[in-house]
Chain A
């Protein structure tokens, strides 16, 4: 058995024993829990590129029910958003919102595979029962290859059952 194979096996054993450690390599949200209907600061943590190459674009899809989205610009990256109609109108303070940001894109940057960075936006979470998980599917494009963090767990499964789970935040009861 070559040293590389042995090393890979060791790594596999360690990783399978430590699913949480494995999750660190995913693109995830910093705050895993937030009250329903609250304004939420979403921090997407990008821990690696694709196949060792640098990340050049990060795109986030905003799910239905998440409103008043404002992305934070980032030096060295071009920030663009897509707007669209909501499936229904939502109350936001004194306003009624029927459309808004549905997709955020930070592009044209370069985040080396060896480096770490965060991508931030603000949003109002939906008024849904505690325990509901709100998923933000993310597409991470690199110089070579792409990671699609878009897998939403089926009933009875968790993030750990997937290779590329979508980052999610679990709603808690309103304070």
Chain B
């Protein structure tokens, strides 16, 4: 028995190690897994009035995206056929989506409506308007129909998916780690756990379809068609579900073989590993930078949670059916392991929270922070209950106190059920966190929203994105992002800018731009006293003897 146990502990250690390493490998192999994408820049910019038809529309996101659907509507709302499918940027970390437009666009308002998915499985949708020959007419855009029902059902499916998956593989962990070797109670637990595995598999599959529906913006009836399923499978949710199903298959085999000793136990552990990897394959948490840290932490967090909540039902069964002495032994054994599991999950969760929330203020003033707070309240309830169970109720089960036994077992079971309810709430909040943009992406969103005026000027193949924020009279921020012809950031020796308003007789205002990032140069507090068409000239000293000179006009309103 002792030897068997040591073997299992060794297995568990190996599993932990594997879990810590595998996500890092997966991420290196697939640079796809990132966080919520945000549209940073559009060329032509939204609302632009153009003199001649553009050859293409380029949408730059803060991260790589893949297009789900892109539609271009011409004047009158007629959908135009695109000459080629939208192309995504080739370079690593390039989130640019290029949409080639048909030649000979008519004058009038055009709408480019896009729906893309970032690799964490979240859809980003929006529209860009531009007018040819005139400013675009905002009136023609119809609001997208509400897809609230799909979103709600998708959130519920995600909740069911989390809950059933964790409970099923966690129950397996309980069998493998707490019930050392074969025992009659294991046989009693098996049917319930098999049912759990089945439900978890169904929920994982359903979750894929609903994720596809959310990505496509389809109503619930879309689940009947193949399209949303294809989209779901192609997204990171699909990969996650595949891992979850693999894990569940391992767990089911493990349940079948459990009585044969080590092979069954190893399969049950592998099942838990599959679930942990599944939750590492998609979502906000494993895609927070630095990902070498966040992804393994998500795996550890998942494993700890699975063990904890997967043990509730088996423990309740043990307390109901086992003789007092045996129940007390099993509960004490669980209690010891649970201490370690909870310590791991709390630590991992704390670090992940810090990564997502970015700053304490975000807890109060972002929806993500509020949901997080709700989750933490429930977690606190669970921790208090767990502490009471461990420090008060578990010692009451002691074999010496035969008289106190049944009453103490009943109290502990009651406490376990309360804990289950709290755990369900925690999972509900967690599902909510998965559909809410985390505060760490907020800075980028704010920047994208406050973009006043931006334009791209290309000289000798080197594009420069010139941005003036907020492009209103008064102090402005002038930022220039310059790239080499091959798309890499241009490291200029010096960048300066001159802004003039010749129509009002305002002579050039000169500013030197400081380096704000790779290829990014900016100056704050550039005073633009009047509204009008400002002539902007940016000089970038590319090398000792070469200067790239960009000229453009910036509209200040």
Contacts and interface: CB of A to CB of B under 8 A. Distances in A.
B107 to A, nearest CB: 27
A76 to B, nearest CB: 23
Contacts of A154: 549, 551
Instruction: For chain A, give the interface size range.
Output: under 10
A137 interface: yes
Interface stretch (B24-32, B284-292, B408-416, B539-547): B539-547
Contacts of B545: 61, 137, 139, 148, 150
Interface string A56-68: 0001010000000
Nearest to A138: B545
A150 B547 contact: yes
B500 to A, nearest CB: 13
B544 A139 contact: yes
Nearest to B544: A139
B547 A59 contact: no
A59 B544 contact: yes
A113 interface: no
A154 B551 CA distance: 11
A159 interface: no
B549 A148 contact: no
A100 to B, nearest CB: 17
A137 B546 contact: yes
Contacts of A139: 544-545
Contact of B549 (A59, A61, A137, A151): A151
Interface string A137-159: 10100000000101100100000
B507 to A, nearest CB: 10
A151 B551 CA distance: 14
B115 to A, nearest CB: 40
A59 B545 CA distance: 9
Contacts of A61: 544-545
B61 to A, nearest CB: 32
Contacts of B546: 137, 150
Nearest to B551: A154
Interface in B522-553: 541, 544-547, 549, 551
A137 B546 CA distance: 8
A139 B549 CA distance: 17
B483 to A, nearest CB: 20
A59 B544 CA distance: 10
A56 to B, nearest CB: 16
Contacts of B547: 148, 150-151
B295 to A, nearest CB: 48
A150 B539 CA distance: 11
Contacts of A59: 544
Nearest to A60: B545
A157 to B, nearest CB: 10
B88 to A, nearest CB: 33
Most buried by B among A139, A150, A151: A150
A47 to B, nearest CB: 20
Contacts of A148: 541, 544-545, 547
Contacts of A151: 547, 549
Contacts of B549: 151, 154
A150 B541 CA distance: 10
Which 10 pairs across A and B sit closest by C-beta, in order of nearness?
A137-B545, A61-B545, A150-B545, A150-B547, A139-B544, A151-B547, A150-B546, A139-B545, A154-B549, A151-B549
17 contacts: A59-B544, A61-B544, A61-B545, A137-B545, A137-B546, A139-B544, A139-B545, A148-B541, A148-B544, A148-B545, A148-B547, A150-B545, A150-B546, A150-B547, A151-B547, A151-B549, A154-B551
Interface of A: 59, 61, 137, 139, 148, 150-151, 154
Given A61-B544, A150-B547, 7 more contacts: A137-B546, A148-B544, A148-B545, A148-B547, A150-B545, A150-B546, A154-B551
